[in-house]
Amino acid sequence: MADSSREFSTQTGNFMSYPIDNITTPNTSPEKALNNLNYPNVSAIKNSRDEMCSNNTLSKNISKMNDHEIKSRIQSQAKDINNRYMNITKGFQEVENISSEFATYPNENGFTAFNLGISYLQSSQILLNSVQEHNLLIRALNCINESKYKDILEISEEEIEDTLKHNENVFSQFCYLYNLTYIYGDVYEQNEIYKQYNSVYNSSQKIEDLNMALTELKNTVSLLKDFINEQARFITFLRNHNLSLYDNFQTGYMNYISNIEYWKIYLQDTEKDLKIYEQRKFEYLLHSKIQPAVHGLIFAVGFIGNVVLLIIFIRHKEMRNPPSMMILNLTLADAFNLPVNIPVFLIYLTSHSWNYGEVLCIAFRFLRQLGTAVSIYSIVVISIQRFLALTQIINTKYNGWCPKLAVRLKSILLIVSVWIIGSLIATPHTINAGIYDGQCYGAPKENNGYDKFITLFDFVLFCGIPLTIIATLSIATALLIRKSVRNIPGESMGMDKYIKTRI
């Protein structure tokens, strides 16, 4: 009960050091957008040039044009390509500037950078196609008259493609980081929701609040796994393209959300918290459902059994003799112990605070241990009585302990002694008992020395000494019976014959 009322504080949420503004989710994933772009293959373009010389139709069309028209067309194409290339380059500089700002402080501008980057890549694709067409035209002229048009140079496709490829890699890194950012936003928001439910549960300690906190923590774990998977994909992308994180993206925030080892540790801590919550839920069900049912069954069986035994003692006078007094005492002790240790304990177990005052708290602590101790030591005394009675039967010279005392007086003294022993054992449990943090405890939580002492004290007096006495007397009784059987005339010979027939 003490543990179930303690505030449940987990580590989850302590790592979230970067709250962010609302991040607009792109209409299509960055990865999908990149995969849909198909750049012209340079080797394929070269093959197309080789095929151009055998294209008679194109050669005939070019042959119809005069030199001025041809040169004018080529110059116009080259100028147009150059202007478009400059505009595309400026466009990418804008993408770089916005994405760099986003890397420092993520906000809604990331969505703008993403859309500009997609437009840049699409324009780059069209530009490469235009360069290919321009160079194919020049190649066709060289097929017709190489010496005449040798001064007309092709545009370097490899150089343009290298520049565009570099920019594509930069934008691809931004796309992954942008993905990580809005997934992190989901993780952050989910973690805040979880912390709210965790706070409510710590205050109420109710099972419905525990279930809500557990559900939100599971959602947090699921999002964290998605987040780490995206980080792994980003790392794989960098490794496959032999890249390192772009300089403008090496900010504190981006290093934070891309540090996969850090987040793996965070996930492990969160999963530990999840296990603690699941264990707490099981303990709650155990305390609120299973234990009451088991204790209720024990109470019903014990109560009925003790009532039946008491009725037997009342109705049958021959049972009310001195040797049976200790059994009657055990019955009364159990009858006393059941209502104290089960109903009151269940009320104490399922409540969230002790509302019955300090006096009743101390009395509860005392009576719990008293009833248990009297029951245990009544069984110990019964074991002693059984051994002494058997000894007296076998050894006729033995007159029992204190032969001058009446048998009834002996029984009364034994019963009183058992209750005194029980009271002495129960007293240490009341020394530091009181109401701490709204609960009835045997001692404050800070008093670790008392906890260790009382644990050892209970083990020795409730388990060690009683079990040792009962086990020793049971073995001694068995040996005594075996010895007495062998001393019966003719019994030894009969046993020998029995053994031989068995062989």
* DSSP, residue by residue, 462-488: IIIHHHHHHHHHHHHHHHHHHHHHHTS
Q: What's the pTM value of the predicted model, to 2 decimals?
A: 0.56
Q: Residue 395 — left, alpha, or beta (φ > 0 → left; ψ -120 to 50 → alpha)?
A: beta
Q: What is the pLDDT of residue 421?
A: 94
Local confidence pLDDT in tens for the 503 residues of the chain: 333 333 333 344 444 455 444 444 444 455 555 555 444 444 444 444 455 555 544 555 555 556 677 777 888 888 888 898 899 889 899 999 999 998 888 877 888 888 888 888 888 888 888 888 888 877 777 776 656 666 677 787 788 888 888 888 999 999 899 989 889 989 999 999 999 999 998 888 788 888 899 999 999 999 999 999 999 999 999 999 899 999 999 998 899 999 999 999 999 999 999 998 888 888 777 766 776 777 678 778 877 887 888 888 888 777 777 667 888 888 888 877 777 777 666 666 666 677 888 898 898 889 889 988 998 999 899 888 888 877 766 555 545 555 545 677 878 888 899 999 999 999 999 988 888 888 788 888 777 788 888 889 999 999 999 999 999 998 988 888 887 766 655 555 454 544 444 43
Number of C-alpha atoms within 13 angstroms, CB side, residue 336? 19
Rg (CA), the chain: 45
Determine the pLDDT at residue 262: 93
**What's residue 61's pLDDT?**
55
DSSP 3: T
Enumerate long-range contacts of 157-163, CB under 8 Å, 24 or more apart: 157/40, 157/42, 157/45, 157/128, 157/131, 157/132, 158/42, 160/85, 160/127, 160/128, 160/131, 161/39, 161/42, 161/128, 163/89
For the purposes of burial, counting CB atoms within 10 Å of the CB of 343, is it exposed (0-12), middle (13-18) or buried (19 or more)?
A: middle
Query: Are the C-beta atoms of 384 and 474 separated by less than 8 Å?
Result: no
Identify the helix (H) or strand (E) that includes residue 195.
Answer: helix 157-204
The residues, any chain, with a CB within 8 Å of residue 90's CB and separated by 6 or more, are none
Burial class (CB in 10 A: 0-12, 13-18, 19+), 172: buried
> Are 132 and 45 within 8 A, CB to CB?
yes
Residues contacting 476, CB < 8 A, separation 6+: 387
For each of the domains in the chain, give its residue range(s) and CATH number, in order of start: 30-275 (no CATH), 321-502 (1.20.1070.10)
- Exposed, middle or buried by CB within 10 Å (0-12, 13-18, 19+), for 36? exposed
Query: Is the distance from CB of 249 to CB of 100 less than 8 angstroms?
Result: yes
pLDDT at 500: 43
> Which of 472-480's residues contact partners 24+ apart within 8 Å by CB, and which partners?
473/383, 473/384, 473/386, 473/387, 474/383, 476/387, 477/386, 477/387, 477/390, 480/387, 480/390, 480/391, 480/394
The token pair that represents 330 in the structure block: 């055990």
